[in-house]
């Protein structure tokens, strides 16, 4: 049984291997996928034990060029993992790569697969942890991979250039949010026993009992961050920027989240409702009208929610729906009226409508005028409604807000919920102002704070801030949590909140910036500010950027400043832990700016205060803590420290901001912060550099957070600028390089490298670049490029496409990069016994890179082509084959290079003619030379090299080939030559299959070629001809009119062409023409014989018989085989008869050849069966005169088939009756046959007339005795004539005359010569007759 199993396994394994290979080798995509389907069938259903072995091979398919293949790979991965989840950790890296696939369909499939795998794994992890309290290593590994995948999808949801991919990524986030948050209606306890059935939906609430890996709290936090990620994309008019389907899916997803998760309802709805004021704009824009519909549906859906959290929102949703149905024109007025009406209805929240309304004008104003314009251009209506006098509005908003809070709070405890709701609804802008206003009212001493809040604050902050801060934090925290709509029922609202004065509202935020600016060189600042701000405006999602904005806003940029705090709420909440908030108080900021406009000055401004959450400042503050001792002072002296380093050329400035916090913290509500002196610390150059590096490492290290919040693009740009601005030494580049290469895929190495390269390039190009601190040598670009390329080559597997992508997308290719490529493609290996696998894969990698470069980078096209061409004559066949495949299949069809390829191939072909003729003198080991040459000419003219220089290079190649071959000549002449000839000709042969007209050249040179070359041609030709086929006109032309001396080659070609299938009529015609006009060689006709008719074959039959035996045999086979349609030209019998019909004299065929032909026939006993022979003999015996070889054939027939004896005897009797003795040659044969067939022949012999019997007995005396014995049998004897008996001496009767007459003659004959016998018998006959 086991045995059977093993056999089956090995059989499946073999099958699987062959499918896999076929899948890789096939060129046709559908065939490829078919193979994979079968393979999958085996792996999944027949013998899953093979999975472990095959998965690595399958994963290699990720580098397949054809997208359907990659797509199918994803399909396989999915099916495999759904059935065998333990494989997930193996396949996850591939999914990770394919998520970023260039083909959207593949990326989409990868994402949907990842999603389902994520869900499965998550639930498995959760359940296993719940039930067994621990996770097995395998599952844990899978889970880690899934987490990585999840992060990748987060960034895809925001950044992916393809909308379809984004849709799925958003859907994925929705799924994660739902997975990570408890289902309110589900059971909060896991089922007591692990269930296999899927009936009970998994609920994250089960995890409350504890889990080794998962933590409900952090899952919830992640869900909350994700929700922000989705919400942010819809805030304000963001929705107009994103593509329609994305917006629709966002709205749908959010609605579905809100509906299913009451806890998030309050966060979702404000954002959705926030879209309503933009309703007309959205509806007006054509592409977004569907969003409106989606929004309406979302509201309707959300209205259906019955849980308590939804209650308070009902009216607002209803009114929003009503509003959405309003006509276009009346909109503003109606809104006003509506708002008023609403206010009347809902007295508890008198200003909420305004709050909502105002959120958007506020945001809108953040746009630069240019953006607003473009937006207006897009939307085409009504923007001015929103862009009005912002400050005025804000002021009124603020006082309204304060009023209403005051009113609410006055109601006492029971109003707390109303306050929460209110706060949750007012715009971040207004809320921020409210907070600032209330800062002034903080007590000098902190109120009692819950220990939890304090500890959280402390643990989160980089420094131990002064006690007063805890109080502020706590306050903030409470505000935030209520803002974000989470249920909040504590009573932390300090009563001091209520009294308010509003005059200084703005001061706290503006002053510090002014202060800061005073500390810096103003002109530089302005430039700095410009250089930063133009970037962030385009996509204002990155925390870093916001900070930059804040820190560097100029005093004149009032508007900008006033809106920053409100906006950044969302971003900070993404990044930080619970307590993170920024109201107006937030000025923690880091800004890394490269001031390319401001020569000699590099500023890094870091401000390090205070209230906000830990995560964003952390990367900066910590290194400072370590490297700059002064920072320690922060802990002790003041809650706020500023360090400012004014920069001399290339310096690092750390500027601490004087912040309002101080004022708040000191709590006396005095705002004289501007006058506080700021300590300035100067760093020396070394310190600066150290700081730089630490900074860089920090920034690089934080890639994950940035990526998951979707800020990658911006980050790359900033990083690149940052690096460029650094005056640090090479180490900075090495740090970057190490980071990139550490995990090229996940660190988004490609994007980062490209950004950096482009900046380097631009810098190098610009005239100013030279003066940029001298940090960048002119070779910086090249150096960085090369080190990345080499790094990629050395760290990534050869199957990875990153290198090729880099080469393809870099701004410009330095010469050194081409050298690197050259090195990949043409490894200098002198080992004759093949290459190691990795080297071969490297060659593939190099060649595919070359290919894409040729396609994508015209300036280096000819250089790349040369690398490829050079590879096609590489001494190692493996290399050569790959290169030729590339050149012939992929490059040759490109019309802009096909001529160059052809020329080169032709040149190489002609070199073989000289083989063995050239002298040894000019031998130089020149590949190295070659590169030099290439390089030199490049240096002169990097981008534009004409075809002339190319040709000269190829000339050189030719010279090289010759010289290289020269050396080998000394070793083993012939063998090496054949090899060499193949080396030079392979490319040409490959091209012939693409362009048949090239074929003639081979025939042309054939005659002049040395023997080795001919051998090589003979070796190549069959393959070539088989590929081209007989239908090619060029082939036919060559056949009907071949160049002189190419006869043998023609034979070969014909042979190959007719080998497998019947020759087409055109080919037959061509051959006939050739036979008739040029080459009178029947051998030529052999290949087409099967297609000729009987009438055509018979006339040339003697010529065929005259061919050497092997050729005749071939001809015979073809004649007998015939074509499928017409059947054989001649039957075997007809063949034999035709052979017998040949007259040596008339047909000029030597008799021996005819005999040979007969022999050939007799050798084929299966064809020339005894029936055939009988038939032939029957016909031949009727011929008059009898064919010359008749008796010979009879003898052979009976020799071959003993059973023919009786039939032969009949023939012999017929011969007797035909008086066979009259043909002397045949008579001898007759007797010989009779002798050989005795005793069967006795009765025939006895039929002979006595005279001839006697002669026979004389000729073959050994038969006399048995014959006599036979004749003496009474039955026989009685039938015999007396004369016969006399001859046999069975009768005593004396007939002297006859006996005497004949005896002397008979006696004399054998003694003399055999020829005499005829004469004698002739004379005897005549005598007898006479």
Q: How far apart are CA 224 and CA 970, in angstroms?
A: 78
Binding mask 1142-1171 toward other proteins (x if CB under 8 A, else -) reads ------------------------------
- The C-alpha torsion from 1324 through 1327 and 1328 to 1329, rounded to 10°, is 130
What minimum distance in Å lies between the beta carbon of 64 and other proteins? 20
Q: How far apart are CA 1005 and CA 1016, in angstroms?
A: 13
> Which H, E and C letters describe 880-945, residue by residue?
HHHHHHHHHHHHCCCHHHHHHHHHHHHHHHHHHHHCCCCCCCCCCCCHHHHHHHHHHHHHHCCCCC
Q: Which is nearer to other proteins, 116 or 1247 (CB)?
A: 116
Contacts of 493 (CB under 8 A, 6+ apart): 409, 416, 419, 478
What minimum distance in Å lies between the beta carbon of 1075 and other proteins? 48
Choose the binding region for other proteins from 113-121, 913-921, 1005-1013, 1272-1280 (rule: CB under 8 A).
113-121
Q: Which is nearer to other proteins, 300 or 928 (CB)?
A: 300
What minimum distance in Å lies between the beta carbon of 883 and other proteins? 33
289 near other proteins (CB under 8 A): yes
162 near other proteins (CB under 8 A): yes
171 near other proteins (CB under 8 A): yes
Residues 852-911 that bind other proteins (CB under 8 A): none
Binding mask 567-606 toward other proteins (x if CB under 8 A, else -) reads ----------------------------------------
Q: Which is nearer to other proteins, 290 or 417 (CB)?
A: 290
74 near other proteins (CB under 8 A): no
What minimum distance in Å lies between the beta carbon of 168 and other proteins? 6
Q: How many CB atoms lie within 10 A of CB 1270?
A: 18
Q: Which of 966, 828, 983, 960 is nearest to 909 (CA)?
A: 983
Q: How many CB atoms lie within 10 A of CB 11?
A: 13
Torsion sign, CA atoms 347, 348, 352, 354: positive
What minimum distance in Å lies between the beta carbon of 1103 and other proteins? 54
175 near other proteins (CB under 8 A): yes
Choose the binding region for other proteins from 24-32, 295-303, 973-981, 1226-1234 (rule: CB under 8 A).
295-303
What minimum distance in Å lies between the beta carbon of 308 and other proteins? 23
Q: Which is nearer to other proteins, 162 or 371 (CB)?
A: 162
Among 6, 300, 467, 1044, binds other proteins (CB under 8 A): 300
163 near other proteins (CB under 8 A): yes
Among 13, 37, 38, 119, binds other proteins (CB under 8 A): 119
Q: Which is nearer to other proteins, 301 or 417 (CB)?
A: 301
Q: Which of 669, 670, 665, 672 is nearest to 446 (CA)?
A: 665
1237 near other proteins (CB under 8 A): no
457 near other proteins (CB under 8 A): no
Contact by Cβ (8 Å): 818, 864: yes
167 near other proteins (CB under 8 A): yes
What minimum distance in Å lies between the beta carbon of 259 and other proteins? 9
Reply yes or no: is the peptide bond before residue 610 cis, omega within 30 of 0. Answer: yes
Contact by Cβ (8 Å): 251, 294: yes
297 near other proteins (CB under 8 A): yes
Q: How far apart are CA 1017 and CA 982, in angstroms?
A: 8
287 near other proteins (CB under 8 A): yes
Q: How far apart are CA 1056 and CA 1086, in angstroms?
A: 12
What minimum distance in Å lies between the beta carbon of 115 and other proteins? 5
Choose the binding region for other proteins from 158-166, 608-616, 797-805, 1206-1214 (rule: CB under 8 A).
158-166
Torsion sign, CA atoms 1315, 1319, 1324, 1325: positive
Contact by Cβ (8 Å): 114, 99: yes
* Helix 1011-1028 with 973-994: angle, nearest 10 deg: 30
Choose the binding region for other proteins from 165-173, 791-799, 807-815, 984-992 (rule: CB under 8 A).
165-173
Residue reference for tokens 């040979």:
1156
β strands within 1021-1116, DSSP E: none
Q: Which is nearer to other proteins, 167 or 868 (CB)?
A: 167
What minimum distance in Å lies between the beta carbon of 272 and other proteins? 15
116 near other proteins (CB under 8 A): yes
Q: Which is nearer to other proteins, 166 or 861 (CB)?
A: 166
What minimum distance in Å lies between the beta carbon of 310 and other proteins? 17
154 near other proteins (CB under 8 A): no
Q: How far apart are CA 923 and CA 141, in angstroms?
A: 60
294 near other proteins (CB under 8 A): yes
β strands within 308-421, DSSP E: none
Site residue total, other proteins (CB under 8 A): 33
Contacts of 9 (CB under 8 A, 6+ apart): 47, 49, 50
3-state secondary structure of 1129: coil
Q: How far apart are CA 704 and CA 155, in angstroms?
A: 10
Contact by Cβ (8 Å): 90, 55: yes
> Which H, E and C letters describe 666-696, residue by residue?
HCCCCCCHHHCCCCECCCCHHHHHHHHHHHH
What minimum distance in Å lies between the beta carbon of 1000 and other proteins? 41
105 near other proteins (CB under 8 A): yes
Q: How far apart are CA 731 and CA 871, in angstroms?
A: 37
Quote the DSSP letter at residue 607.
Answer: E
77 near other proteins (CB under 8 A): no
Q: How far apart are CA 850 and CA 868, in angstroms?
A: 7
615 near other proteins (CB under 8 A): no
Choose the binding region for other proteins from 61-69, 110-118, 135-143, 532-540 (rule: CB under 8 A).
110-118
1283 exposure class (CB count in 10 Å sphere: 0-12, 13-18, 19+): middle
Q: Which is nearer to other proteins, 111 or 1135 (CB)?
A: 111
3-state secondary structure of 1168: coil
What minimum distance in Å lies between the beta carbon of 188 and other proteins? 22
Cα separation of the two ends of the chain: 94
172 near other proteins (CB under 8 A): yes
34 near other proteins (CB under 8 A): no
Q: Which is nearer to other proteins, 295 or 572 (CB)?
A: 295
Q: Which is nearer to other proteins, 252 or 954 (CB)?
A: 252
Choose the binding region for other proteins from 214-222, 291-299, 940-948, 1290-1298 (rule: CB under 8 A).
291-299
Q: Which is nearer to other proteins, 245 or 927 (CB)?
A: 245
Among 85, 164, 350, 387, binds other proteins (CB under 8 A): 164
Choose the binding region for other proteins from 131-139, 163-171, 306-314, 1198-1206 (rule: CB under 8 A).
163-171
956 near other proteins (CB under 8 A): no
281 near other proteins (CB under 8 A): no
Q: Which is nearer to other proteins, 249 or 1053 (CB)?
A: 249
Residues 214-253 that bind other proteins (CB under 8 A): 243-245, 248-249, 252
Query: Which H/E stretch holds residue 256?
Result: helix 244-260
Q: How far apart are CA 484 and CA 1191, in angstroms?
A: 116
Q: How far apart are CA 1127 and CA 1118, in angstroms?
A: 11
Which residues contact other proteins by CB under 8 A?
104-105, 108, 111-112, 115-116, 119, 162-165, 167-168, 171-172, 175, 243-245, 248-249, 252, 256, 286-287, 289-290, 293-294, 297, 300-301
């Amino acid at each position: 049984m086991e045995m059977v199993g093993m056999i089956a396994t090995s059989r499946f394994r073999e099958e699987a291997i062959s499918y896999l290979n076929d899948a890789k080798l096939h060129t046709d995509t559908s065939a490829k996928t078919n193979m994979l389907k079968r393979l999958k069938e085996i792996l999944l259903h027949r013998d899953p034990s093979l999975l472990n072995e095959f998965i690595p091979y399958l994963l290699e398919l990720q580098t397949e060029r054809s997208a359907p293949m990659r797509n199918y790979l994803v399909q396989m991965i999915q099916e495999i993992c759904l059935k065998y989840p333990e494989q997930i950790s193996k396949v996850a890296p591939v999914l990770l790569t394919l998520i970023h696939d260039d083909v959207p369909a593949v990326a989409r499939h990868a994402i949907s697969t990842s999603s389902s795998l994520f869900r499965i794994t998550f639930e498995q992890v959760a359940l296993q942890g719940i039930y067994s309290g621990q996770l097995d290593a395998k599952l844990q590994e899978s889970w880690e991979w899934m987490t990585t995948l999840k992060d990748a999808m987060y960034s895809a949801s925001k950044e992916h250039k393809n909308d379809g991919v984004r849709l799925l990524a958003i859907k994925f986030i929705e799924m994660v949010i739902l997975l990570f948050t408890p289902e309110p209606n589900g059971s909060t306890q896991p089922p007591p026993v692990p269930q296999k059935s899927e009936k009970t939906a998994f609920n994250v609430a089960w995890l409350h009992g504890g889990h080794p890996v998962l933590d409900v709290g952090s899952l919830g936090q992640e869900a909350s961050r994700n929700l922000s990620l989705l919400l942010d994309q819809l805030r304000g008019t963001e929705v107009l920027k994103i593509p329609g389907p994305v917006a629709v899916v966002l709205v749908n997803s959010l609605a579905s989240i809100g509906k299913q998760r009451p806890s998030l309802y309050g966060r979702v709805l404000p954002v959705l409702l926030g879209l309503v004021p933009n309703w007309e704009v959205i509806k007006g824009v054509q592409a977004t009208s569907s969003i409106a519909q989606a929004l309406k549906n979302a509201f309707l859906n959300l209205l259906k929610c019955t849980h308590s959290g939804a209650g308070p929102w009902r009216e607002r949703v209803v009114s929003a729906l009503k509003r959405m149905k309003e006509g276009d024109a009346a909109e503003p007025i109606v809104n006003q009226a509506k708002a008023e009406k609403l206010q009347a209805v809902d007295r508890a929240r008198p200003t909420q409508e305004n709050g909502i309304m105002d959120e958007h004008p506020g945001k809108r104003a953040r746009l630069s005028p240019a953006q607003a314009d473009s937006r207006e251009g897009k939307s085409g209506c009504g923007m001015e409604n929103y862009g009005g006098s912002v400050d005025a509005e804000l002021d009124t908003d603020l006082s309204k807000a304060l009023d209403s809070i005051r009113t609410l709070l006055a109601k006492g405890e029971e109003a707390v919920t109303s306050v929460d709701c209110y706060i949750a609804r007012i715009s971040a802008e207004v809320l921020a102002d409210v907070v600032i206003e209330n800062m002034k009212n903080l007590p000098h001493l902190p109120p009692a704070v819950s220990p939890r809040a304090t500890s959280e604050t402390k643990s989160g902050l980089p420094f131990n801030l002064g006690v007063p801060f805890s109080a502020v934090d706590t306050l903030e925290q409470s505000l935030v949590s209520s803002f974000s709509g989470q249920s909040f029922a504590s009573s932390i609202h300090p009563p001091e909140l209520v009294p308010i004065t509003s005059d200084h509202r703005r001061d706290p935020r503006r002053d510090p910036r002014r202060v800061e600016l005073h500390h810096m060189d103003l002109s530089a600042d302005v430039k700095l500010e410009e250089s930063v701000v133009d970037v962030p405006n385009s996509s204002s999602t990155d925390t870093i950027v916001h900070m930059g904005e804040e820190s560097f806003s100029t005093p004149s940029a009032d508007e900008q400043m006033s809106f920053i705090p409100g906006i950044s709420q969302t971003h900070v909440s993404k990044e930080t832990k619970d307590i993170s908030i920024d109201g107006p108080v937030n000025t923690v900021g880091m800004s890394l700016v490269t001031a390319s406009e401001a020569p000699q000055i590099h500023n890094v401004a870091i401000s390090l205060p205070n209230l906000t959450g830990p995560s964003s400042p952390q990367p900066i503050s910590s290194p400072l803590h370590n490297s700059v001792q002064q920072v320690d002072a922060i802990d002790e002296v003041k809650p706020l420290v500023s360090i400012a380093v004014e920069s001399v050329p290339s310096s690092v400035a750390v500027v601490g901001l004087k912040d309002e916090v101080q004022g708040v913290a000191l709590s006396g509500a005095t705002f004289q912060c501007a006058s506080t002196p700021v300590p300035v610390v100067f760093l020396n150059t070394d310190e600066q550099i150290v700081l730089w590096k630490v900074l860089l490492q920090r920034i690089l290290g934080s890639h994950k957070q940035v990526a998951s919040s979707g800020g990658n693009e911006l980050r790359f740009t900033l990083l690149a600028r940052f690096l460029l601005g650094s005056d640090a030494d090479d180490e900075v580049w090495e740090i970057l390089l190490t980071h990139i290469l550490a995990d090229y895929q996940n660190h988004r190495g490609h994007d980062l490298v490209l950004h950096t390269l482009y900046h380097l390039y631009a810098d190098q190009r610009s005239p100013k670049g030279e003066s940029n601190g001298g940090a960048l040598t002119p070779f910086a670009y090249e150096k960085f490029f090369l080190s990345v390329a080499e790094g990629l080559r050395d760290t990534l597997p050869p199957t990875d496409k990153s290198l090729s992508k880099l080469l393809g997308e870099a701004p410009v290719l330095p010469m050194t990069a081409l050298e690197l490529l050259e090195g990949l493609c043409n490894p200098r290996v002198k080992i004759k016994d093949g290459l190691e696998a990795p080297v071969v894969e490297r060659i593939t990698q190099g060649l595919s890179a070359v290919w894409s470069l040729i396609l994508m980078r015209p300036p280096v096209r000819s250089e790349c082509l040369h690398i490829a061409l050079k590879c096609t004559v590489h001494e190692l066949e493996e290399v050569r084959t790959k290169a030729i495949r590339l050149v012939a299949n992929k490059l040759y069809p490109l019309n802009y290079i096909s001529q160059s390829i052809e020329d080169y191939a032709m040149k190489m072909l002609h070199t073989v003619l000289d083989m063995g003729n050239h002298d040894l003198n000019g031998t130089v080991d020149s590949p190295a030379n070659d590169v030099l040459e290439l390089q030199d000419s490049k240096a002169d003219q990097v981008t534009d090299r004409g075809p002339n220089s190319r040709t000269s290079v190829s000339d050189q190649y030719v010279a090289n080939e010759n010289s290289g071959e020269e050396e080998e000549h000394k070793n083993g002449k012939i063998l090496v030559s054949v090899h060499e000839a193949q080396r030079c000709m392979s490319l040409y042969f490959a091209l012939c299959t693409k362009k048949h007209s090239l074929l003639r050249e081979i025939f042309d040179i054939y005659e002049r070629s040395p023997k080795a070359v001919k051998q090589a041609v003979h070796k190549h030709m069959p393959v070539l001809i088989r590929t081209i086929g007989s239908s090619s006109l060029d082939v036919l032309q060559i056949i009907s009119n071949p160049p002189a001396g190419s006869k043998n080659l023609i034979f070969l070609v014909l042979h190959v062409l007719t080998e497998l299938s019947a020759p087409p009529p055109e080919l037959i015609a061509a051959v006939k023409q050739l036979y008739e006009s040029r080459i009178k060689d029947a051998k030529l006709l052999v290949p087409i014989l099967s297609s000729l008719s009987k009438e055509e074959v018979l006339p040339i039959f003697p010529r065929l018989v005259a061919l050497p035996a092997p050729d005749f045999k071939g001809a015979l086979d073809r004649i007998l085989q015939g074509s499928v349609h017409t059947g054989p030209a001649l039957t075997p019998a007809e063949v034999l008869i035709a052979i017998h019909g040949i007259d040596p004299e008339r047909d000029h065929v030597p008799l021996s050849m005819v005999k040979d032909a007969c022999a050939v026939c007799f050798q084929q006993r299966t064809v020339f069966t005894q029936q055939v022979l009988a038939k032939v003999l029957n016909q031949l015996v009727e011929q008059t005169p009898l064919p010359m070889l008749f008796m010979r054939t009879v003898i052979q027939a009976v020799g071959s088939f003993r059973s023919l004896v009786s039939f032969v005897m009949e023939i012999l009797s017929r011969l007797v009756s035909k008086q066979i003795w009259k043909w002397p040659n045949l008579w001898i044969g007759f007797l010989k046959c009779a002798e050989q067939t005795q005793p069967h022949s006795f009765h025939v012999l006895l039929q002979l007339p006595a005279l001839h019997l006697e002669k026979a007995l004389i000729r073959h005396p050994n038969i006399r005795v048995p014959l006599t014995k036979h004749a003496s049998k009474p039955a026989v004897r009685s039938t015999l004539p007396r004369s016969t008996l006399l001859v046999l001496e069975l009768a005593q009767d004396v007939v002297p005359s006859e006996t005497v007459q004949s005896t002397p003659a008979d006696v004399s004959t054998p003694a003399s010569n055999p020829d005499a016998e005829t004469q004698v018998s002739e004379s005897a006959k005549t005598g007898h007759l006479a």
